[in-house]
């Protein structure tokens, strides 16, 4: 996404009290984007490079007050409500810092210190494919679900526009204009995130989308939705709004009651959504329904149809069903574990190919 789009969306997100997380390679202008927003809105900018901070720097040190222990306000704490806090290098911070900052993200407070009402929060991070020391932050879905994820794609025209305003050397300006391939060697940002929808993420998305004009909604809705509920859910959401998709009932799909030709004609995005629904349906079955499925031997019908769909679905989609079942077997017990194990065995038998199991 171009930097001007990142800037526009970041401001729209912060206006609703939500938090943009800007991903971009070093030197891509992440901090400059927030600095420009601060200048244009008349807000003071506080930058916290949390990869260089200790928990005490972030949350303040404890102090005794009579018979109580109170935490002193850290020196960076905003005094006024016209402030933007930029949490920088968020994916390079130690886990202790991540834990310390959760309360700020969740409740806009640290201990007994509450942020002024008009304070905006933004975050920035380098993508996980760079040569930096990385921690397990980007694999923590609970943490990452707090943000709208936006990624900068290097754009020569935007940089030249910025360079003209910043009085960059004419020699450098002319060189990049003629040799744009040397602006940066990084072309794309690979986030490697597994964003999943949740009641909270849909609530956050609703707040931000309500802050857009109809024209901006059409332009940015998919990008914003992808950055908070994940790409698959976002595409289904937009298709639904455009009246492009009405997917068959999941149980009918698994039992073969839906015409195979209908499934065959689905778009690649809708096939992804079918598998997403299958995984969700299986995971959320009640134990009573599990007993009924096993007694009626519907699990064998499920397996036969999944085998049938493996002929028209990309292999990685069918593999995701196996991977989901394998995970459900390991984290459940009793009836649920037995059901998932039985269904997994039945699907593996129908697929009749050892390579499926070897990939797990």
Task: Indicate the length of the chain as a whole number.
Answer: 360
Record: fold of 3-230: Rossmann fold (3.40.50)
Q: What is the band of 137 on the pLDDT scale with cuts at 50, 70, 90?
A: very low
Predicted confidence (pLDDT) per residue in 3-62, tens digit: 889 999 999 999 999 999 998 877 678 898 999 999 999 999 999 888 887 777 777 777
For the cut 50, the answer to whether the pLDDT of residue 133 exceeds it is no
> What pLDDT is recorded for position 41?
95
CA distances from 14 to 21, 107, 108, 119, 211 (A): 11, 15, 13, 9, 10
Beta bridge partner(s), residue 69: 64
* Residue boundaries of the structural domains of the chain: 3-230, 250-358
What is the average per-residue pLDDT within 155-174?
Answer: 82
Count CB-CB contacts under 10 A for residue 179: 10
What is the average per-residue pLDDT within 71-75?
Answer: 79
- Collapse the DSSP code of 291 into the 3-class scheme (helix H, G, I; strand E, B; otherwise coil) and give the result: helix
Q: Which one has a higher pLDDT value, 341 or 133?
A: 341
Dihedral sign from CA coordinates of 192, 196, 197, 199: negative
| Spatial separation of the C-alpha atoms in residues 225 and 209, rounded to whole Å | 9
Mean pLDDT value across the chain: 84
What is the average per-residue pLDDT within 239-264?
Answer: 83
CA 299 remoteness from chain centre: 33
b/e for 198-210, b at 16 or more Cβ within 10 A?
A: beebeebbeebbe
């Amino acid at each position: 996404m171009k930097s001007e789009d990142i800037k526009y969306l970041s401001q729209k997100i912060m206006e609703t009290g939500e938090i943009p997380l800007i991903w971009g390679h070093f030197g891509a202008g992440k901090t400059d984007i927030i600095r420009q927003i601060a200048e244009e809105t008349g807000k003071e900018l506080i930058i916290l490079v949390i990869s260089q901070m200790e928990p005490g720097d972030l949350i303040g040190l404890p102090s005794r007050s009579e018979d109580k222990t109170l935490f002193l306000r850290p020196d960076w704490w905003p005094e006024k409500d016209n402030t933007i806090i930029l949490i920088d290098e968020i994916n390079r911070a130690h886990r202790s810092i991540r834990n310390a900052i959760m309360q700020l993200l969740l409740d806009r407070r640290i201990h007994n210190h509450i942020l002024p009402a008009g304070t905006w929060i933004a975050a920035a991070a380098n993508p996980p494919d760079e040569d930096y020391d990385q921690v397990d932050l980007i694999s923590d879905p609970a943490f990452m679900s707090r943000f709208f994820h936006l990624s900068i794609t290097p754009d020569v025209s935007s940089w030249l526009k910025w360079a003209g305003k910043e009085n960059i050397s004419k020699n450098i300006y002319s060189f990049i204009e003629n040799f744009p391939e040397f602006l940066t060697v990084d072309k794309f940002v690979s986030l490697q995130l597994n964003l999943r929808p949740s009641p909270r993420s849909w609530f956050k998305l609703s707040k931000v989308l309500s802050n857009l004009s109809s024209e901006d909604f059409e332009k940015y809705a998919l990008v914003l939705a992808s950055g908070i509920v994940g790409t698959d859910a976002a595409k289904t959401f937009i298709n639904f709004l455009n009246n492009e998709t009405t997917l068959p009932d999941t149980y009918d799909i698994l039992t073969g009651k839906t015409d195979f030709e209908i499934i065959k004609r689905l778009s690649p995005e809708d096939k992804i959504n079918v598998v997403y629904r299958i995984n969700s349906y299986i995971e959320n079955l009640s134990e009573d329904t599990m007993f009924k499925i096993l007694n009626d031997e519907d699990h064998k019908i499920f397996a036969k149809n999944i085998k049938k769909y493996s002929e028209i679905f990309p292999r990685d989609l069918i593999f995701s069903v196996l991977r989901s079942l394998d995970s459900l077997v390991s984290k459940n017990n009793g009836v649920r574990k037995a059901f998932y194990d039985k269904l997994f065995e039945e699907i593996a038998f129908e697929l009749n190919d050892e390579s499926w199991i070897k990939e797990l």
